[in-house]
């Protein structure tokens, strides 16, 4: 889903609930300027934390709003697709299971945050792999790119 489509969806939900941008800002803790940018497609798809605040404030399903934003549903984060080869599974699993401190921008990440990050990356990884399999040409005469 594009930023504009999600923005239109958010605006329609807000208007259907007869809530002003200012009231939504107060209820969600998100600035009215940010809400306006989202609704007008001037800001990217919001992060899940922002969507949670908006869904709670609008009293709508968080899962529905996440789906409208194009985020992967929570229950799909741990699925391994049927088309995944043994190599796909082994390599990615090894990467996720490596021990050692995980850092971001020089700051250590605790185990709970590390698990959340791994869950999200796992979902994005398999989604990207599936998209690549659909869009790659199947011409065997074309040499692989370096």
Q: Which of 21-30, 58-67, 86-95, 101-110 has the lowest mean pLDDT?
A: 86-95
The separation between the first and the last C-alpha atoms of the chain, rounded to the nearest angstrom, is 32
pTM of the model: 0.52
pLDDT tens-place string over residues 109-136: 777 777 777 777 777 777 777 777 766 5
């Amino acid at each position: 889903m594009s930023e504009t489509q999600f923005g239109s969806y958010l605006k329609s939900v807000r208007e259907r609930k007869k809530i002003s941008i200012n009231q939504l800002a107060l209820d969600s803790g998100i600035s009215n300027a940010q809400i306006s940018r989202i609704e007008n497609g001037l800001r990217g798809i919001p992060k899940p934390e922002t969507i949670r605040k908006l869904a709670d404030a609008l009293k709508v399903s968080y899962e529905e709003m996440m789906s409208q934003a194009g985020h992967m549903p929570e229950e799909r984060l741990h699925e391994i697709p049927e088309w995944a080869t043994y190599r796909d599974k082994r390599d990615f699993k090894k990467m996720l299971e490596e021990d050692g401190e995980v850092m971001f921008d020089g700051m250590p990440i605790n185990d709970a945050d590390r698990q959340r990050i791994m869950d999200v990356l796992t979902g994005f990884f398999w989604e990207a792999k599936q998209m690549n399999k659909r869009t790659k040409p199947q011409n065997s005469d074309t040499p692989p790119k370096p």
